[in-house]
Structure formats: C-alpha cells, structure tokens
Structure 1
Amino acid sequence: MTESQTRPDLAALLADAAMSMGGEPNYDATLEAIVREAQKSIPGTDEAGLSLLSSGRIKTAAPSSDFVEHIDQFQYQFGEGPCLDAILEADFFRTNNMAAESRWPRFAPAAVREGVQSMLAFRLHSDGQILGALNLYSRHRDAFDNEAIYTGQPFAAHASIALSHSREKVQLLEALDNRDVIGMAKGILMERFKIDDERAFSLLVNLSQRSQEKLRTVASNVVAEARSAVP
C-alpha cells in the first residue's frame, strides 16, 4: 500500500480542518486550531506556528512549542527567513536542507544550530490583505515533499479565511464595546451638565484631545468615576 493510499482523502482532510478552524469560539482558539490542524494535516511537520502582521509589525502567535518562537526570533532579528519571504514575496517558501541554504545567510546557520533541518512557510492572505504566514518546521532533512505543498496550499487558503473571519468578529465586538461605553459616558455627562447628546459627545472629544488619550479610554474613565461616586 502506498503512502498516498494510507493518508486520508485530501478533500475530507481539508474539510475536517476547515470545520475545526472555523468553529472556534474566539480569536486565540482559532489561531491554536490552525496550528494544531497544520501539524495533523501537512506531512513532514514536527512543529508549527504563525507569524502575523499586527500594526505594521510581525509577531509569533500560537506556537506549538517554545522552540518555534525561539526560531522565529532569529528571523525577526536578522530580517530574513522563509516566513518573512512568504509574507513579502511569494505564496510559499521551502527549504529541505537548511545547512546548505544560501538565501538566508544569517538565519540559516542559527536555525541549524537549534536543530532545524527543513522549513516550509505559506502566505496567509484574504481579500487582497496579507495576514501573515503559516510556518512549519522539521528536525529532519527533506521533510517537506511535493505532497506537503499540495496539501499546504489549500490548507493555507482555509486558514486565511478562518483567520480573517475571526479578526472581523474581534473588530465588531470591540466596536460594539466602544459604542456602549461611549454611549454610557454621554448619558452621564448629559445628566450631570444638562446638555444634549451632541454637546456631550463634543465634550468627550475635547477631553480626549486635551489628555491625548483614546476616546474610549476617556469614556471608560467617566463611567468608572460615576460608578465610584454611587454610595
């Protein structure tokens, strides 16, 4: 029996992975599911993690172990490596002999010293926006064959969708939370100073500008102060 015959059908494998990644209750759980399913689904993978773009910076998320974060720090420190290239240049980057790698002259020797022999990184993107990269690591040479690419590319597409949807949920909840806090603060100011909604909001904006704090922070302070004054 061949290896391809012993592995689950790719469509079924990806369907199960997509359901797992898309069914998590919150953002952190979604990231952990992406990494967990990558380890299960993509052949050759010993460790996995995510490098995500956030506020113009790249940071590691949901590493399968401290080892992953340690290796990633070399990439960020040297400004080179497969995950950075996947984010900036192409859909994926693979190396199956890190010791002979010339594309990343500073990162490769550091990774080899820590025991990395093979790496595979896939870009994560959705609706034209680059989200980051899915990074796979192996302590063995020639770990990632063409099957890993064949499986990893559609997997990364599913992961991108799950990641994008989860981020949208977070942003929506934050927007609703901000609106609720600002609404409560406006109500407090309207009652306290006998002013209308528009003037209450203008007062919050003025306080935000003068204190150089975010509007939500100022609103939260107003609400907290009002609550503390209640006997």
Structure 2
Amino acid sequence: MNAAELTLAQELAEVSRLVEDDDVASALQRFLERITRTVPGCDRAAVAVRERRVEFVAAHGPRAGEVTGLPSQDGPIAEALQFREPRYLADTRTDARWPGLGRRLAEAGCRSCLVLPLPRQRTPAAALVLYARQPQCFGDTAQDVALLLALHAGVVFDNAQLFHDSRRLIDQLNAALRTRQLIGQAQGLLMRQLNCDQERGFALLKGASQNTNTKLRDVASALVAAHDNGELPAMITKFGVDDAAP
C-alpha cells in the first residue's frame, strides 16, 4: 500500500468514527473538513438535502456561505438529489448547461463543481457538493476518492441519524414516564387531602389545569412541591381544587 492509499484508508476509518459521542451536525462539519483535506484540489465542500426544496445543512471552506447561498432549486445539485446521479461542472465559466449558476460560481471563486449523491436508506435525499478554485480539477482520481468517501459516509450518517433518533425517542419516553409518575403522585395527594376516589382525584387535577390554563404536569409538580414544603392546602386553594371537591 502506497502513501496515498494509506492516507485514504485512514480517512475512511476516521469517517466511521465521526459520529461517536457526537451529534449529526457536528459529524457533518468534521466530515467536510476531512473531505477538503483528502480530495485533491477541493477547497470547499457542502452537504445538501432535499425534502420540499433543496437546502444546505453543512458547509466548510473559504466563502462557503457565499457559494451555498446561490440558488439551488434548478441545477446540478437539484438534479443529483432528484435522479441520484453525479453531476460535474468541469469549468463553471464554459459549462453551457447552467450558465447563470456557472457564472455566479465563477464569481465566487469556484471553477469546478462536483455533486455526488450520498447513498442513504433514510430520507431526505442528500448529496455531497465539492468545489475547487481551478477548472478541470476533479479528474478521475479525485472523483474516485470523493466517491469512496461519499459511499462510506452515506452508511455512517444513516446509522448516526438512527442512533440519535432512537436516543431522542428514549429521552421522550423517559420524560413521559416521569410526568406520568408525577401526575399519579399529585392525584394520590388530592385523594388523601380531599377524601375522594381515584377517578375524582384525576378529574380535579385536570380541572385545575384547564381552569388556570396551566399544563397538567406543572399543576402536578406544584402540588407535589407544596406537599414537600408543608403548603399543600394553600396550593390546593390557589388552583381552586377545593372549590370543586365533593
């Protein structure tokens, strides 16, 4: 294995570790930094997605914001996302397919542009966009390197999104469980304080929430905290619960 091959292998290994203890946005940013270091001639890179419209979710490199601010709804990026096919502008000044966009890219210092769709099992569709200062920059070697990184990254980011979506779902379930336990605790306090059954206790709790335009969990939290501080009767009065008690 020569030095170039070894460097590429090391970069592929690093891409697979980008998402460890990291969020997807940060992983994308670090991935683009590696892209600009590894792909010959590349000095700016971005990731674009398409749901209802084309949007850039990450960018790296000099004047990257200026480039990603250009219209992208009709052009190589939109086509790559729609058809899942690469698009290459070898020279933005002379490419006749998108002359308006090509001219604006050239004015922003980009003479070459390569768009590679990221292979993903999840939505939305995503593409890697590479820019270079020189025309004819992304030849066969550069395209092969970029394609290897894009293929690897598509799987990595699918797994990252799945991991973070799962973790977010677990956090939501834990929060829901804590809220349920809190409401049950407040319900029990009302049952004991107002000498009512379980159904009536929950009805009083719900009524206090509606009458004061306060979230149910916040009413429950206030009642539990008041009980801990020896102020439960006053809090019951504040929420008007005792007025509705049997």
State the TM bucket, normalised to the shorter chain. Answer: 0.7 to 0.9
Correspondence for 2:127: 133
1:111 to 105, 110, 116: 105
- Partner deviation per Cα, 1:119-145 (whole Å, 9 max, x = no partner): 111111322645411111111111110
Moved more, 100-109 or 124-133: 124-133
Q: Secondary structure at the match of 2:49?
A: strand
Q: Note closer, same or farther for the CA distance 1:221–1:191 as it changes in structure 2 (3 Å cut).
A: closer
Moved more, 103-112 or 172-181: 103-112
Contact 2:182 2:221 in 1 (8 A): no
Number of residue equivalences: 210
Separation in 1, partners of 2:83, 2:216: 42
Correspondence for 1:42: 39
Correspondence for 1:94: 88
Separation in 1, partners of 2:82, 2:222: 47
Correspondence for 2:242: none
Contact 1:117 1:141 in 2 (8 A): yes
1:61 to 57, 62, 65: 57
Correspondence for 1:71: 67
Q: Secondary structure at the match of 2:130?
A: strand
Q: Note closer, same or farther for the CA distance 1:64–1:226 as it changes in structure 2 (3 Å cut).
A: farther
Correspondence for 1:32: 29
**Is 1:85–2:82 an aligned residue pair?**
no
Letter matched to residue 85 of structure 1: E
Separation in 1, partners of 2:100, 2:137: 22
Q: Note closer, same or farther for the CA distance 1:227–1:145 as it changes in structure 2 (3 Å cut).
A: farther
Letter matched to residue 15 of structure 1: L
Q: Note closer, same or farther for the CA distance 1:69–1:19 as it changes in structure 2 (3 Å cut).
A: same
1:188 to 182, 189, 197: 182
TM-score, length of structure 2 as denominator length: 0.71
Q: Secondary structure at the match of 2:117?
A: strand
- Partner deviation per Cα, 1:12-54 (whole Å, 9 max, x = no partner): 245334344354533233112211221122112011121134x
Contact 1:188 1:226 in 2 (8 A): no
* Structure 1 alignment gaps of length 5 or more: 212-217
Q: Note closer, same or farther for the CA distance 1:179–1:70 as it changes in structure 2 (3 Å cut).
A: same
- Partner deviation per Cα, 1:131-187 (whole Å, 9 max, x = no partner): 411111111111110111211212101111121111112211211111112112222
Contact 1:181 1:219 in 2 (8 A): no
Q: CA RMSD in A?
A: 3.3
Separation in 2, partners of 1:226, 1:107: 62
**Is 1:12–2:6 an aligned residue pair?**
no
Correspondence for 1:151: 145
Q: Note closer, same or farther for the CA distance 1:226–1:132 as it changes in structure 2 (3 Å cut).
A: farther
Correspondence for 2:158: 164
- Higher-Rg structure is 2
Contact 2:122 2:158 in 1 (8 A): no
Letter matched to residue 42 of structure 1: V
Contact 2:16 2:156 in 1 (8 A): no
Contact 1:47 1:138 in 2 (8 A): yes
Correspondence for 1:214: none
Separation in 2, partners of 1:169, 1:185: 24
Task: Percent identity, please.
Answer: 15
Separation in 2, partners of 1:135, 1:151: 14
Letter matched to residue 49 of structure 2: L
Structure possessing the higher relative contact order (Cα contacts under 8 Å, 6 or more residues apart): 1
